[in-house]
Structure formats: structure tokens, C-alpha cells
Amino acid sequence: MDRGLYIAASGMLTEMARQDLLANDLANVATTGYKADRVSQHSFGDMLLQNTRTGQAIGPIGTGSYIAKQVTDLTGAPLKDTGQPLDFGVSGDGFFSVRTPQGVRYTRDGSFQATSAGTLVDQLGNPVLDQQGRTITVAADGTVPAAQLGLFALTNVRKIGDGNFTGTPAGRGTGQVQSGMLEGSGVNPTHTIIDMMTSLRAYESGQKAIQTIDSTLDKAASQVGSTS
């Protein structure tokens, strides 16, 4: 089997995975507090080719590519004014804390609401916690002081879906909680579309390489092999 087929196929698989991440980012371009994903692509390494008759070195050839690392860009996005008293945005570093059925989770999405019992919860009904891990009560006028919300610095942050993250608390976050504000999405749609087009071109290049190799192998089998 021609080695070029494996090299081209590995590149196509890498670009398919990258396309999935970019498409997910675009789908969340308007999601409050969403953080975009980034990937790092690497080569499996080069092989040194040599002439089988003389042993003379010809040069290196790549053996394909793969996604070495996926990270989430936690850079803060600009805040937008909503005027809603139970909307909160973080300017700077830090995460809100919520208690879910799976345990305590962290989020940058501060679009909170009040239950009939007067408890502050997120959009999924999970209680929002203060700095001591206690639930927060909404005042009779429907407000909560921004200083009452917990704001946590995290290490080993990992995205887990529904706008939530896991991580190890490392004290209070250095950011500032602002009432009546929400953080926008961390996706730059223009840059993401450009990245998607670049990835698509790389995928198409892999397709063309495979088609060319297949055509060459077909000729070698049907024409060269029949030459007398």
C-alpha cells in the first residue's frame, strides 16, 4: 500500500476533528460566557528515505499529522448591559459556582433567576453559591448584591458542557462581578470562519492527493503490468 495514502488520510482525519470544533464554536457565537476551543496539530515525525541500491540518503518524508492537544481559550469576553438585576458578568478572572446533581461546577454564564422559594439559580435550576459554598437568597425586591456571589479562581480548568467547567478552586478570583451585565461569547465569528475555510482547503488537498495516488496505482496495475 502506498505510504502517501496513510499520510493524506491522517491529515483528513485531523481536519475533520478540527472542523467539528470550529462548527461547535460557530454554533455558540451568541452563547453567554461561552469559551472557544483551540487545537494544536503535530506531525507523527519524519522518515529518512535512502536509495535501496546505493544506500545514499534521499531526504525526509512526513508520516502524517494528528491533533496533539485541545485547549479552551479562557480569555474574558466583553460584557454587555442587559439591565436585568439577576444578570451578572465577570470582568477579569474568576468563575461563578453552582451546585449540580453531579457536584459543584463552575461557569461564566451569569444569567441567573429566582425560584419560587427565593433562591438564586442558573438556567438549569442549579443553586448559585456564595464564597462559602452556601445558597443565595434573592431579596424581596428581586435583587442580589453582586458582592454576595462567590467568585472562584480555578486551576486545571476543563469544559464539560452546558456552559459549565470543572477545576480546582484556588481562592477568590481577581475579577469583578457586575450586576445587570452578561459576558458575551468568546468566539470571533470572522476568525472562526476563516479558520474553517483554511481547514476545508487542507481537507480537500488530502482528497486530491488520495485521488492522484489511486489513479497512479490503477495505471501501475492495469497498464505497466500489461507491458510486454
Q: List, in order, residues 6 or more apart from 129 with CB less than 8 Å away.
A: 97, 98, 99, 104, 135, 136, 150
Encode pLDDT of 136-179 as tens digits.
999 999 999 999 999 999 999 999 988 999 999 999 999 999 99
The reported pLDDT for the residue numbered 206 is 82
Highest mean pLDDT, choosing among 52-61, 153-162, 196-205: 153-162
d(CA 188, CA 172): 28
- The reply to whether 99 and 176 lie within a common domain is yes
User: What mean pLDDT is predicted for residues 70-91?
Assistant: 93
- The reply to whether 194 and 170 lie within a common domain is no
- The reply to whether 196 and 175 lie within a common domain is no
Q: How many domains does the chain have?
A: 2
- The reply to whether 60 and 90 lie within a common domain is no
- The reply to whether 117 and 49 lie within a common domain is no
The domain of 132 spans 79-183
Helix, strand, coil in percent for the chain, rounding step 5:
30, 35, 35
d(CA 53, CA 148): 78
Burial of 94 (C-beta count, 10 Å sphere; 0-12/13-18/19+) = buried
Residue 114 CB: number of other CB atoms within 10 A?
18
